Amino acid sequence: MAPAGNPAPRGRFDRGLLPDPETYYIATEGLAFREKRGTWRTADCPWHGGQSLRINLASGAYACMGCGERGGDVIAFAMNRHGLTFVEAARRLGCWIEDGSAIAPPPTRPAGLSAADALALIAADAELLAIEALRVANGHVLDQNARQAIIDAARRVLLLATPPGGRR
């Protein structure tokens, strides 16, 4: 959520607009794959430089066998690599649709959110929470951006899980 007094941008995430993982990793991130075939490819790790970053070209998931950096898709990679929030990463990847206005974060569940959009948002947030929990379990120390992303994701999940009327 945006800090008090700093309205959150109004918009929505559209997973269908995510770039193709192979195109993203090669053209945007400048990675070079050693293999020419297969779902999983190997590249140099941008975090530690070793030749141990494994990338799934079907889902965009990545995991470095050397330093432990990992994530579930190209959004997670952009967030982790460039220190971005979810919305910043989605904007950078062209899958955040702005509506041109700004509003303060709502105190209750958004009325206009369809069930499908709510499930997609919860799924993305649950994936982020799971990835970060695994990173912490493996000894990774979270930076401020990652901590804020976790807090924002947890708040969204709780907000969406709260039925109208406010009690679960």
pLDDT of residue 25: 92
d(CA 27, CA 90) in angstroms, rounded, equals 17
Span between the terminal Cα atoms of the chain, in Å:
21
Q: What is the largest CA-CA distance in the chain?
A: 55
- pLDDT one-digit tens code per residue, 96-142: 888 754 434 444 444 556 777 777 778 888 888 888 888 888 888 87
d(CA 155, CA 36) in angstroms, rounded, equals 42
d(CA 137, CA 78) in angstroms, rounded, equals 21
In the predicted structure, residue 167 carries a pLDDT above the cut 70: no
d(CA 28, CA 55) in angstroms, rounded, equals 14
| Cβ-based neighbours of 163, under 8 Å, separated by 6 or more | 109
Percentage of the chain exceeding pLDDT 90: 35
* Residue 159 banded pLDDT, cuts 50, 70, 90: confident
The encoded tokens of residue 34 equal 């050693």
Q: The whole model's pTM is what?
A: 0.55
Q: Assess contact for 53 and 46: CB atoms under 8 A.
A: yes
d(CA 60, CA 23) in angstroms, rounded, equals 10
Q: Assess contact for 74 and 19: CB atoms under 8 A.
A: yes
Three-state secondary-structure class, residue 55 = strand
pLDDT of residue 83: 92
